[in-house]
Structure 1
Amino acid sequence: MNDAPDPWNDFAQELGKRLLRARATRGLSQEHVAHAAGLATFTYRKLEKGESNPGTPANPRLKTLVVLAEVLDLSLDELIPERPGGVAPGR
């Protein structure tokens, strides 16, 4: 069993914080952003928490990230955090 921390957890958490910050700055509800992006509100809430299932980091599709960036009037660079340290490209 590998007890080493998963760097993708921090990445997913930071993505969630960026979603929350952008949504709050624009005065939008989770329901509004989810609907505008074509997502279930439950799915969007999980993204803001940085998880897909309990204990599993969020791993949204590229299409989802692009649409959320558009809804929140962000560039992908503003939305997506840097690649987590300690993770080799392609992993």
Structure 2
Amino acid sequence: MPSPQSAAARILGERVKDARTAKGLSQEDAAALAEMHVTNFGKIERGQANPSLTTIVRIAGVLEIDPGTLVRGIKLGDLPPRSHQLTATDLIKARKAQAG
């Protein structure tokens, strides 16, 4: 079985699965309600997919939860590594220092 894409994908997937099972829905039923293929829904639950914002909101809607609960607390460090670790604040500081 493939591993999760990232800690963020794993966390999101666990939250989707928890919300689905709390409602007593099968993956098939939840996927049908969200108008998506059950295979894709399963990949999201296993953290093997990176769903779009539209998909996250659609899933949250059919599970009757706030979409924010699915992503709350997920941080930049939970994503795959980037080629740099700069934030907007770092960039602004560097530009001010160069303008000096």
User: Is the shorter-chain TM-score for this pair beyond 0.5, marking a shared fold?
Assistant: yes
Question: What do the CA deviations read for 1:29-79 (whole angstroms, capped 9, x no partner)?
Answer: 00011000010000000100000xxxxxx2111110110010011111111
State the AA in 1 paired with 2:57.
V
Q: Alpha carbon RMSD of aligned pairs, Å?
A: 2.0
Unaligned runs of 5+ in 2: 80-84, 89-100
Q: With structure 2 as the length reference, what TM-score do the two structures score?
A: 0.69
Which has a greater percent of strand?
1
Deviation of 1:28 after TM superposition, in Å, equals: 0.4
Residue aligned with 2:77, SS: coil
Which has a greater percent of helix?
2
Residue aligned with 2:6, SS: helix
Cα distance change, pair 32–86 in 1 and its aligned pair in 2 (3 A): closer
The question of whether the paired residues in 1 share the 8 Å contact of 2:6 and 2:78 is answered with no
Aligned length: 77
